[in-house]
């Protein structure tokens, strides 16, 4: 992988993580969040930072690999798919934690759940291993949509 590509995908992914952290503040345990009714399948709070750190590292590395190995005509598509996915990813935290809009957060999570397999598919066309590496991210996004939906339904 080229250093410039790795630096670019790492910077974009880190910016997304920082934007999400800025929306949540010093942790997800705000009074508002603690007061929400939670579904039985919600993982402990300690799972989220570990999962997201791992997923963001994977997104950065797999995307860099795919972008570097993509044909010239597909490279822009991979870059756009990554940018769109990260924009939606970062927006979710603002909609959920900052705006407290559970329905809109569920819709945002659903868009992310559609965007993530698209990113994996485009990456797999350029490099099958990069696409495979993104499969846990697509699964996590689907889980996050289910969790967001349950939170919305329980707290209407």
Q: What pLDDT, in 10s, does the model give residues 49-96?
A: 999 999 999 999 999 999 999 998 899 999 999 999 999 999 999 999
29 has pLDDT over 70: no
All structural domains of the chain with their residue ranges: 3-18+55-154
**97: nearest Cα among 24, 152, 153:** 24
Predicted confidence (pLDDT) at residue 1 exceeds the cutoff of 80: no
Q: Which pLDDT band holds residue 27 (cuts at 50, 70, 90)?
A: low
Whole-Å CA distances, 129 to 4, 63, 68: 20, 11, 13
Residue 97 has pLDDT above 80, yes or no: yes
**What's the token pair of residue 21?**
């952290």
Phi, psi dihedral angles at 92 (to 5 degrees): -55, -45
Q: How far apart are CA 67 and CA 70, in angstroms?
A: 5
Residue with structure tokens 């795919």? 66
pLDDT mean across residues, the chain = 94
Of 87, 116, 102, 114, give the one whose Cα is nearest residue 16: 87
Residue 28 phi/psi, 5-degree rounding, is -85, 0
Return the pLDDT at 28.
52
Length reported for the chain: 156
Helix, strand, coil % over all residues of the chain, rounded to 5: 80, 0, 20
The confidence band for 44, taking pLDDT boundaries of 50, 70 and 90, is very high
Full-model pTM? 0.92
Pair of tokens at residue 36: 């929400």
pLDDT in tens, 116-135: 999 999 999 999 999 999 99
């Amino acid at each position: 992988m080229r250093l410039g590509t790795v630096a670019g995908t790492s910077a974009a992914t880190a910016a997304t993580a920082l934007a999400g952290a800025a929306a949540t503040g010093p942790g997800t345990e705000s009074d508002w969040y603690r007061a929400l009714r939670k579904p039985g399948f919600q993982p402990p709070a300690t799972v989220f930072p570990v999962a997201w750190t791992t997923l963001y590292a994977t997104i950065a590395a797999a995307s860099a690999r795919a972008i570097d190995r993509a044909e010239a005509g597909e490279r822009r598509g991979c870059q756009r798919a990554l940018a769109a996915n990260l924009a939606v990813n970062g927006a979710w935290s603002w909609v959920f934690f900052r705006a407290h809009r559970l329905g809109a957060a569920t819709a945002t999570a659903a868009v992310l759940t559609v965007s993530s397999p698209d990113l994996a598919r485009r990456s797999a066309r350029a490099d099958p291993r990069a696409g495979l590496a993104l499969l846990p991210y697509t699964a996590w996004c689907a889980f996050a949509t289910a969790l967001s939906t349950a939170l919305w339904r329980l707290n209407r």
